[in-house]
C-alpha cells in the first residue's frame, strides 16, 4: 500500500507573512495612512498588479530591468508592477481627457521586485503613495502640500521623523555653472553616495570629471550643507549666479514659507543639500524622511518632483510630485526593533458562552443584538464550560457573557469582567451599554456604569 507523500510547507523568501495579531497592527497602520490621504482630499486609485511589458518597462532601465517579474501568456508579454508610479503615469495618460487637474490620488498596494531577499529587502511589499499631477504646469505649492502630508502621516503613526528636504536644481545648477552639464548625471551619482564612500573617495572619483581640486572641494562642501532651513538658505544664497541654481533656491524658499504657514514644526524638517534621490526622473524638490532616534532604519519615506511623469505615453506635459512609504519594510524594522505596540491575540471584546447546545440560538440572537459596534463571537464548540473559559483567557478576551438555563428563562445574562473577575446578571440592554462604554482593560465597576445607564 502506497503511503501518501506529504509536501513540506514552506514559503518563498522575501515575502512577508504575519500572524493574525500582527496583521491587525499592520492593517491599523494602513488605515491611519489612508485616513490622512483621504482627509487631505486625495482620491483612491487601484491599478492592476499586471501590466503590458512595454508599458511597465518603458522607463525602468538599470537594475530594475533585472528585478522585474516577467512572463508570457500566449503571445502577450506581461510584467508585475515594481512600483506604483509607472501605473499612475499610464493611468493619467489614458484618462487625461476625463481627469480634473491637478489630479490628487493615493494608492496603497503591493509591488514586486525580484531582488535578493535580505533584512529590510522584500520581493513583495506594500507601498503607500500619494501624488499630485498637473497638466502643463504644477505650482511649487503642491510640493509643499506633499511635504505637509508626510508630516501628518508620521504623526498619525506616532513615529518621530525629520524630513530631509532639498532641490536637485541646486547641485545641477552648480554643475551647470562649471560647464559640466553633460557629466551631471555621473557627478550627481558620486555626490549621492558621499555618506557611504567618504569625502576622500568622492574627491578621487570627482576628479575624473572636475580636474580642479578646489572646485571639487567646493562642490562637496555644498553637498554636505544641512541644518535649519533659514541657516542653510542664508549660506547657499549667492554661492552661484546660475539660473537653474537660483530657481532651486527660490523653490526652497517657497516650500519653507508653505510649511511655516501650515504649522509644520521646524523640528520636523531640515534643509539637506545632499539629498539627491538617485532616480534621474526627479527634477526639483526631493526629500527623505528619517527617524533620528533610529539611524539604522535609513530612509522611511521618500519622494519628490518629476516634471515629465507620462512622457513615454503622451505628448502632454504632466508634471507631478509625490511621496512613497515602503510600509512592509518599515513594519519589519519596527517589529525587529521591538517598537510595535503590544500585540493582542484577538480583537474580540466579548465572547458569548452558551452552556450547551440548548442555549446556542439564544447566544446567536444576543450576538446579533450587540451588533457591529461591539466585536463579539459565540463559542459554539461542544466543550465543557471550564475549557471555554480557558480559551477566552488564552485569547485575552476582556469580557464573557454566560448563557445557561437561568439566563434563558429570565432573559438576563451573566456578564463577567475577565480582568477583575466581577460578574453580574444583567439585561441585554445593560450588557450592551457597559460593553460600549468600557475600555479593553479597566477596573471600573459594573455599578458605576449602571448608575450612568439609569441617568
Q: pLDDT, tens digit, for every residue of 203-226?
A: 888 888 988 889 999 999 999 999
Residue 123 — φ and ψ, nearest 5°?
-90, -25
CA–CA dist 412, 433 (Å, integer)? 14
The domain boundary, picked from 302, 336, 370, lies at 336
Asked if residue 208 and residue 72 are part of one domain, the reply reads yes
Same structural domain, 323 and 359:
no
Write down the H helix ranges in 131-270: 141-156, 168-177, 184-191, 194-206, 213-223, 229-236, 243-261
- Within a domain: 387: yes
Residues 267 and 360 in one domain: no
Do the Cβ atoms of 153 and 326 come closer than 8 Å? no
The grid coordinates of residue 175 equal: 554643475
Same domain, 77 and 226: yes
Query: Could you list the residue range(s) of the whole structural domain that residue 189 is in?
Result: 20-336
In 3D space, the residue among 142, 167, 164, 137 whose CA is nearest the CA of residue 246 turns out to be 167
Mind listing the pLDDT tens digit for each residue in 178-200? 999 898 889 998 898 888 898 88
Asked whether the predicted pLDDT for residue 423 surpasses 90, the reply is yes
Q: Give residue 441's pLDDT band: very low, low, confident or very high (50, 70, 90).
A: low
If asked whether residues 290 and 407 sit together in one domain, one would say: no
Burial of 10 (0-12, 13-18, 19+ CB in 10 A): exposed
* 29 shares its domain with 51: yes
**326 and 385, same structural domain?**
no
Instruction: Please report the pLDDT score of residue 281 as a whole number.
Output: 76
How many separate helices (H) and strands (E) can be counted in the chain?
17, 17
Instruction: Note the pLDDT of residue 317.
Output: 94
Any domain includes 1: no
pLDDT band at residue 126 under the 50/70/90 scheme: very high
On the question of pLDDT at 342 being above 90, the answer is no
In a domain, 341, yes or no: no
CB 420 within 8 A of CB 443: yes
- DSSP designation for 137: B
- State whether 269 and 405 are in the same domain: no
Q: Does an H or E element contain 268, and which?
A: none
Residue 48: name the closest of 111, 124, 115, 127 by CA.
111
Residues near 106 by Cβ (< 8 Å), separated by ≥ 6? 34, 37, 38, 42, 43, 44, 45, 128, 129, 130, 131
pTM for the complete prediction?
0.90
Which of 303, 336, 369 is at the close of a domain?
336
Q: Is residue 342 part of a domain?
A: no
Burial class of residue 282 in the structure, from the number of CB atoms within 10 Å of its CB (0-12 exposed, 13-18 middle, 19+ buried): buried
Backbone angles phi, psi at 346, to 5 degrees: -155, 160
Nearest one of 254, 303, 348 to 88, comparing CA atoms: 303
Domain boundary among 273, 303, 336: 336
| Each residue's pLDDT tens digit, 228-264 | 999 999 999 989 999 999 999 999 999 999 999 999 9
Residue 188 belongs to a domain = yes
Tell me: do 245 and 196 sit in the same domain: yes
Percent of the chain at pLDDT > 90 equals 75
In a domain, 15, yes or no: no
Instruction: Tell whether 200 and 320 lie within a shared domain.
Output: yes
Q: What is the domain-level CATH number for residue 226?
A: 3.30.930.10
What is the reported pLDDT for 344? 82
Tell whether 3 is covered by a domain: no
Rounded Cα–Cα distance for residues 412 and 2 (Å): 58
Q: Is residue 374 in some structural domain?
A: yes
Q: Are 131 and 24 part of one and the same domain?
A: yes
CB-CB neighbours of 57 under 10 Å? 19
Based on the fold, state whether residues 362 and 241 are members of the same structural domain.
Answer: no
**How far apart are alpha carbons 108 and 326 in whole angstroms?**
10
Let me know the angle formed at the C-alpha of 271 by 243 and 320, rounded to the nearest 5 degrees.
65
Look up the CATH number of the domain holding residue 379.
3.40.50.800
Total of domains in the chain:
2
Alpha-helical (H) ranges within 45-84 are 53-56, 64-67
Note the residue count of the chain.
455
Amino acid at each position: 500500500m502506497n503511503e501518501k507523500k506529504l509536501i513540506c510547507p514552506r514559503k518563498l523568501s522575501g515575502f512577508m507573512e504575519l500572524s493574525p495579531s500582527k496583521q491587525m497592527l499592520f492593517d491599523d497602520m494602513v488605515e491611519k495612512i489612508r485616513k490622512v490621504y483621504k482627509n487631505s482630499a486625495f482620491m483612491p486609485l487601484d491599478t492592476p498588479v499586471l501590466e503590458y511589458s512595454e508599458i511597465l518597462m518603458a522607463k525602468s532601465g538599470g537594475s530594475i530591468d533585472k528585478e522585474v517579474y516577467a512572463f508570457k501568456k500566449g503571445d502577450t508579454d506581461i510584467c508585475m508592477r515594481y512600483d506604483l508610479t509607472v501605473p499612475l503615469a499610464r493611468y493619467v495618460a489614458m484618462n487625461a481627457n476625463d481627469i480634473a487637474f491637478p489630479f490628487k490620488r493615493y494608492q496603497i498596494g503591493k509591488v514586486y521586485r525580484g531582488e535578493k531577499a535580505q533584512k529590510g529587502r522584500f520581493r513583495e511589499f506594500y507601498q503607500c503613495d500619494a501624488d499630485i499631477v498637473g497638466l502643463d504646469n504644477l505650482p511649487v505649492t503642491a510640493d509643499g502640500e506633499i511635504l505637509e502630508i508626510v508630516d501628518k502621516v508620521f504623526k498619525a503613526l506616532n513615529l518621530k521623523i525629520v524630513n530631509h528636504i532639498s532641490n536637485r536644481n541646486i547641485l545641477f545648477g552648480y554643475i551647470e555653472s562649471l560647464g559640466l552639464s553633460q557629466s551631471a548625471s555621473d557627478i550627481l551619482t558620486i555626490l549621492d553616495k558621499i555618506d557611504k564612500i567618504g569625502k576622500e573617495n568622492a574627491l578621487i572619483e570627482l576628479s575624473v570629471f572636475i580636474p580642479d581640486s578646489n572646485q571639487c572641494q567646493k562642490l562637496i562642501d555644498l553637498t554636505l550643507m544641512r541644518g535649519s532651513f533659514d541657516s542653510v538658505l542664508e549660506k547657499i544664497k549667492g554661492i552661484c549666479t546660475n539660473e537653474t541654481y537660483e530657481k532651486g533656491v527660490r523653490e526652497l524658499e517657497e516650500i519653507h514659507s508653505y510649511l511655516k504657514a501650515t504649522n509644520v514644526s521646524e523640528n520636523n524638517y531640515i534643509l539637506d543639500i545632499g539629498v539627491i534621490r538617485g532616480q534621474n526622473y526627479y527634477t526639483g524638490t526631493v526629500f527623505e524622511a528619517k527617524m533620528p532616534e533610529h539611524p539604522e532604519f535609513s530612509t522611511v519615506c521618500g519622494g519628490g518632483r518629476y516634471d515629465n511623469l507620462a512622457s513615454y505615453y503622451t505628448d502632454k506635459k504632466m508634471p507631478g510630485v509625490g511621496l512613497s512609504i515602503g510600509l512592509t519594510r518599515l513594519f519589519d524594522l519596527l517589529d525587529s526593533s521591538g517598537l510595535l505596540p503590544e500585540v493582542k491575540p484577538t480583537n474580540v471584546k466579548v465572547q458569548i458562552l452558551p452552556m450547551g447546545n440548548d442555549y446556542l440560538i439564544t447566544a446567536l440572537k444576543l450576538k446579533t443584538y450587540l451588533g457591529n459596534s461591539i466585536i463579539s463571537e459565540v463559542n459554539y464548540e461542544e466543550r465543557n464550560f471550564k475549557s471555554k473559559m480557558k480559551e477566552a483567557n488564552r485569547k485575552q478576551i476582556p469580557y464573557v457573557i454566560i448563557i445557561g438555563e437561568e439566563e434563558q428563562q429570565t432573559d438576563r445574562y451573566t456578564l463577567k469582567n475577565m480582568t477583575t473577575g466581577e460578574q453580574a446578571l444583567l439585561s441585554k440592554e445593560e450588557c450592551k451599554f457597559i460593553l460600549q462604554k468600557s475600555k479593553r482593560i479597566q477596573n471600573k465597576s459594573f455599578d458605576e456604569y449602571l448608575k450612568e445607564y439609569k441617568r
